[in-house]
Structure 1
Amino acid sequence: KILAATAKQLFLSELTIASVLALAYLMNYCGATATLGLAFAATGVLFPFFSALLSWVGVFLTGSDTSANALFGNLQVVTAGRLGLNPVLMAASNSSGGVMGKMISLQSIAVAAAATGMAPADEARLFRFTLRHSIVLACAIGLIVVFYAYVMPGWAP
């Protein structure tokens, strides 16, 4: 009885996770991430900065750093290879920039509001408050990645 109730409660979450991972695998297998990676290579020397922002958007949309890594991890590696950058650094940028998007993902806002007893009307205020911090921190991650990509390239594994 408890197992059935739990399965019913988690059904939509499991369906969402499975859908995002299916999309990620489909994009990888059909070459879409490689094509997008080559397109992002057009950003040139600014790609390390945009690398963090790309994953920031990915986590905002999916609500999960893992999902954004699945969606954009290969893209980061392909673009890094095309630009002669360290692919491990770009993959790390994908995770680090994504963490800054977690605080503004709609799922996180809803959980924070519910956990603190905040009125649903105040969720927009919470989003606006965290949005500024999220943007500043994502840009800071981007600048750190630029530093490691060009100033201290040997320090990243």
Structure 2
Amino acid sequence: MGAGSLLPAISPWIGAIGSFMTGSNTSSNILFSVLQYNAAETVGVSRMIAVSLQNVGGGLGNMVSVLNVAAICGVVGITGREGDLLRKAIIPMAVFAVFAGLFGMLLTYVLVPGLF
């Protein structure tokens, strides 16, 4: 197994980076879904699982998107505390992304290898 076999583990992180940068899961998917699909096809892992994990990661990245954090702080009246909120949200986001990656690896190589 080469480095490409880790694609299911890093797919959620790529999605999270995309939505962190853009503030939108949809934009993250537009940016990176084709990349995920082609990478999965190239390394021989499930394209469906890779793109699904991209979408999961995009949702997770919204938790720490600067645009969303600023909007939340403005709505609830705690402007100026964006850093505090971001620090509190980054740990759960990272934990969920790790679990999503592990679940993707489990699906790809243990539970349903070759099904998709």
Structure 1 length normalisation: TM-score?
A: 0.69
* CA shift for structure 1 position 106: 0.6
What's 2:107 paired with?
A: 148
Q: Distance in 2 between matches of 1:86 and 1:74?
A: 13
* CA shift for structure 1 position 134: 0.8
The count of residues paired between Structure 1 and Structure 2 equals: 115
Q: Alignment partner of 2:41: what SS? A: helix
Structure 1: runs of 5 or more not aligned: 1-41
**1:48-105 deviation digits (Å, cap 9, x = unpaired):** 1011111111110111111111111011111111111111111101101111110000
Q: Alignment partner of 1:103: what SS? A: helix
Identity %: 30
Alpha-carbon contact 2:7-2:50 (below 8 Å) kept? no
Please say if 1:132 is aligned against 2:96.
no
Bigger helix fraction: 1
What's 1:88 paired with?
A: 48
Alpha-carbon contact 2:14-2:54 (below 8 Å) kept? yes
Decide which structure has the larger Cα Rg and report it.
1
Alpha-carbon contact 1:57-1:98 (below 8 Å) kept? yes
Spell out structure 1 runs of 4+ moving beyond 4 A: 154-157
Q: Alignment partner of 2:64: what SS? A: coil
- Supply the AA of the counterpart residue of 1:109: V
- Supply the AA of the counterpart residue of 1:88: M
**1:81-137 deviation digits (Å, cap 9, x = unpaired):** 1111111111101101111110000111011101111132x1111100101111111
Structure number with higher relative contact order (C-alpha < 8 Å, ≥ 6 residues apart):
2
Alignment of 1:100-115 (within 5 A): 100-115=60-75
Alpha-carbon contact 1:89-1:156 (below 8 Å) kept? no
Please say if 1:62 is aligned against 2:28.
no
Q: Are residues 110 and 57 of structure 1, via their aligned partners in 2, closer, same or farther at CA, if it must alter by over 3 Å?
A: same
